[in-house]
A and B are shown apart, each in its own frame.
Chain A
Amino acid sequence: MTATQDRQEKSAVSGKRTINLIQAVTEAIAEEMERDSRVVLFGEDVGARGGVFMATAGLQERFGKQRVFDTPLSEASIVGAAVGMAVRGLRPIAEIQFADYMGPGFDQIISQAAKIRYRSAGQFTAPMVIRTPSGGGVKGGHHHSQSPESYYTHTPGLKVVMPSTPYDAKGLLKAALRGEDPVIYFEPKRLYRAAKGEVPDHDYVVKLGEAAVRREGTDLSLIGYGGVMPDLEKAADALGAEGVSVEVIDLRSLVPWDRDRVLSSVQKTGRAVLVSEAPRISNFMGEVAYVIQEQAFDFLTAPVGQVAGFDTPYPYVQDKVYLPGPNRIVAACVQALNY
C-alpha cells in the first residue's frame, strides 16, 4: 500500500486530511492520471528517483514507464515534446527540475506552447502543464532560487499560477490539467514541506484566476503569492498585535489574476502593500499596482507599497537577507499607514 492510499483510507472516516504542499502536488498528479489516461508525466529524474524533491515519488511504480518517464537532460526537449504531445491529444505534465533551468525551453514555451492556438485559429492547441519548483530560501544560489514568473506573465497565451497552500496546490494543478490552455505551474520550493494544511478527500478543483482572502481586515490590504505568503501572515500578526487590521490576499493565479478581489479589498482598506520575492524591475506586482492606481485611485489614502527582491542575481550566502521577510513587509505597511 502506498502512502497515498494509506492516507486515502484514513480519510474515508475523517473527510479531510492534513498534508504538505508537495504531497498535494503528488496527489493531484496521481488522481488526474487515474482519471484520464491521456495524462502523462515526464522530465529529468521524475521516474524511479521521483524527482529531486520527490514530488513524483511512487508514480512510475504505480502508472508504469509508459506514462511516467525520465527524459534526456534537455528543457527544450521536455517542453517541446509536451507541445507535440498536447497537439496530438495527450495531457502532458512536463516537470522542469528548477525554474531557473527553463532557459533552454523558453523558445518552446513562448514560440510554440503560447502561440499555437492563436496562430492556427484553434486548429491546433497545446493544453499542457509545465510544473517547476521556483523561489528562494533553500540556500540554492542563483540557479536554484530565482522567481522568473514575470517572464511568463508577459507572454499572452500562457496561464501562470503559484500556490502557497496544499489545498490550492492540489486544486489548482487539477484545474490546470483539465483546462484547454498551457499553464506554467510554479511550486514555491521552500513551502514544499513547510506548508501544511487540510485537503478534502473528495475531488475538487480551484479555478484559475481567483484570489483567496487569507484573513479579512479594514486598514490595509497585504497582497502576495507563493513562497512569501507565510511572511505576509507573520507581518499581519505583528501589525495585528499593534491594533492594525490587515487583510491578507493570496493571488494564487497571476494570469489571469483576480482584479475584482484586489480592487474591492483596496476600496475597503484604502492602502495596499504588494509583496513578491522576484526582482523589482518589471515585477508582476508592478501590473497589480498599476491597476490599483488606475481603478481605485480615489480610494487610496497612501501610495501603493511594494516589497520585492533586489535587482541583482540571487545570492547564495545572504539568501535570507535578500528575501522580503516579515520585518521588511511590516516596514512597508507602517510607511503606508503613516503616510
Chain B
Amino acid sequence: MIQPFTPEPIRYVAEDGTPVQPLPARYTPELLRELHRLMLQAREFDRKLITLLRQGRTTFYAQSSGMEATQVGLARSIRVGHDWVWPYYRDHTLGLAMGVPMFELISQCLGTNSDTCRGRQMPHHFAAQAQNFVSISSSIASQVPPAAGNAMAQKYLGVDEITVCTFGDGATSEGDWHAGLNMAGAAQAPALFVCENNQWAISTSIREQTASETIHIKAKAYGMPGYYVDGNDIVAVMEVMTAVAEGVRAGQGPALVECLTYRVGSHSNADADAEKHYRTREEVEEWLGRDPITRVEKLLEKLGHPVSAEERAELIARTHREVDEQVLRAEATGQPDWRIIFEDVYADVPDHLRQQEAFLRAEQGGGRA
C-alpha cells in the first residue's frame, strides 16, 4: 500500500545503489537492465539531438537528461495505446519509452515529410495517435483541463482507460492547472496527474515559483491523494505510478504524483549557459550524484549483474548509429510543401482558404501534384 502525502519522497534505492526497502519481486535483473537500456538510450538521444541542433539541422530542443527515471517509469506503469496521455514539451523520453518510433520523433524535430504532424509545430512537439500520445502544446498547463475532459469522457463511456497528464513544476502556477485538477476532482474522473518537478521553470526556481513546500500537497485542495516520489529512482517511480494508476483505473478518482527530479541540462537551446545565469555548478554537481542511470547501474552491480563497460559502450554506440540512420532516413523524405499550410485547419478546406491557397499556388508555381 503506497502512502500519500509523505513528508519525504518515496524511494526504494539510495544514490549508491543500495535498496532502502525490499525490492518487489518483479525487479529482476532482466527488467532492471531493460529499464537501464531505455534510460541510457534516451540520454544518448538527447546528446545526439543537441548535436543536430548545433549543426543547424533542427532549431529547438528541450533535453530530458536527468529526468529519465520519471519518464521511463511512468511509461512502464500505464497501458500504452489503451490509456491516454496529455504530455508536456519535455516528454520525448516518455514517448520513446511508450514505443513512439524514434523515426517519428526525429521526423518531427526535423520537420520533414515523414513528420506525422506535417511540420506544423516547432521541434519537440510530438503527437502519436497509435500510442494515444496527444499533441503537445507550448502554452503552459493548457493540456491540463483537456486531460480532465478526456478522463471525464472515459468515465462517461465506461471504459477502463485512464488519462495521464504531465507537466513541469512551473505549470502548477497557471490557472489552467488549478482549473483542470479541480474539474477532475469534482467529476471524480480517472485522471493521473504527474508533476515532473525538475525544479526550474527556465530560470525560475521552485522556491520562487511557489511558497508551497511541495507540489503534491496541493492535491489535498482538490480532494485527491498526492504522492511524493524520488523521481530519480526508477523503482520508486514505477511502484508508485503502477499502484496509483491502477487505483485511478479502479474508479478511486484522480490522483497527483510529484516526481522530484532535476533537469541537468539547460531549459532548451535558448539558455544553453544556464549555470552562468541562474544556477550554480555545485547544484548541478550535487544532482549529477543522484543520477538515475548510474543509480540503476550501481544497483545492478550490488545485485551481482553489473552492466559492463563494453555493454554500455555498445549500447551508446548503437543508439548513436540508430539516430544517425533515422536522421538520414527522415531527411531523405524532404520537406512538406506549401500546401500543408491550408490543410487540417478545418475538416474540409473552406472557400476563403481555397482562395488563399490559389494565390499561393500561383506564387509558388504549382506545388506537389
Residues of A participating in the B interface, judged by any CB pair closer than 8 Å: 40, 66-67, 71-72, 74, 76-77, 79-90, 92, 104, 107-108, 111-112, 115-125, 127, 156-157, 159, 179-181, 209, 256-257, 259
- B173 → chain A closest CB, angstroms: 14
A77-B182, A79-B145, A80-B148 known; A156 and B345 CB under 8 Å?
yes
A77-B182, A104-B175, A120-B127 known; A84 and B151 CB under 8 Å?
yes
Q: Is B144 an interface residue (CB 8 A)?
A: yes
| 20 A-B contacts (beta carbon < 8 Å) | A67-B156, A71-B186, A74-B179, A77-B148, A81-B145, A82-B149, A84-B86, A84-B150, A85-B149, A85-B152, A87-B134, A90-B156, A108-B176, A112-B137, A112-B146, A120-B129, A121-B344, A157-B345, A159-B346, A256-B352
A88-B154, A179-B347 known; A121 and B142 CB under 8 Å?
no
Contacts of B42 in A (CB 8 A): none
What is the count of residue pairs linking A and B with beta-carbon distances less than 8 angstroms? Answer: 155
Judge whether B120 and A121 touch: CB under 8 Å. yes
Tell me the B115-167 residues at the A interface (CB within 8 Å). Answer: 116-118, 120-121, 125, 127-129, 134-135, 137, 139, 142-154, 156-157, 163
- A110 → chain B closest CB, angstroms: 9
Report how far A159 CA is from B346 CA in the complex, Å: 9
- A303 → chain B closest CB, angstroms: 24
Report how far A66 CA is from B154 CA in the complex, Å: 12
Q: Is B183 an interface residue (CB 8 A)?
A: yes
- B180 → chain A closest CB, angstroms: 6
Contact of B352 among A89, A116, A120, A259 (CB under 8 A): A259
Q: Is B208 an interface residue (CB 8 A)?
A: no
Judge whether B180 and A80 touch: CB under 8 Å. yes
- A287 → chain B closest CB, angstroms: 10
A84-B145, A157-B346 known; A72 and B182 CB under 8 Å?
yes
Contacts of A85 in B (CB 8 A): 149-150, 152-153, 156
Contacts of B345 in A (CB 8 A): 117-118, 156-157
Judge whether B183 and A77 touch: CB under 8 Å. yes
- B353 → chain A closest CB, angstroms: 8
Contact of A107 among B86, B135, B142 (CB under 8 A): B142
Number of interface residues, chain B, beta carbon within 8 A = 47
- B68 → chain A closest CB, angstroms: 25
Residues of B participating in the A interface, judged by any CB pair closer than 8 Å: 84, 86, 116-118, 120-121, 125, 127-129, 134-135, 137, 139, 142-154, 156-157, 163, 175-176, 179-180, 182-183, 186-187, 343-347, 350-352
Most-contacted residue by chain A among B116, B120, B135, B175 (CB, 10 A): B135
Report how far A112 CA is from B142 CA in the complex, Å: 7
Contacts of B153 in A (CB 8 A): 84-85, 88-90
Using CB atoms, name the residue of chain B closest to A179: B347
Contact of B157 among A89, A111, A157 (CB under 8 A): A89
Judge whether A87 and B156 touch: CB under 8 Å. no
- B98 → chain A closest CB, angstroms: 15
Most-contacted residue by chain B among A116, A120, A127, A157 (CB, 10 A): A120
Contact of A108 among B125, B128, B146, B352 (CB under 8 A): B146
Contacts of B128 in A (CB 8 A): 123
Report how far A194 CA is from B187 CA in the complex, Å: 37
Report how far A85 CA is from B35 CA in the complex, Å: 33
Contacts of B163 in A (CB 8 A): 84
Contact of A256 among B182, B344, B351 (CB under 8 A): B351
Report how far A82 CA is from B117 CA in the complex, Å: 22
Contacts of B143 in A (CB 8 A): 112
A74-B183, A108-B142, A115-B137 known; A81 and B344 CB under 8 Å?
no
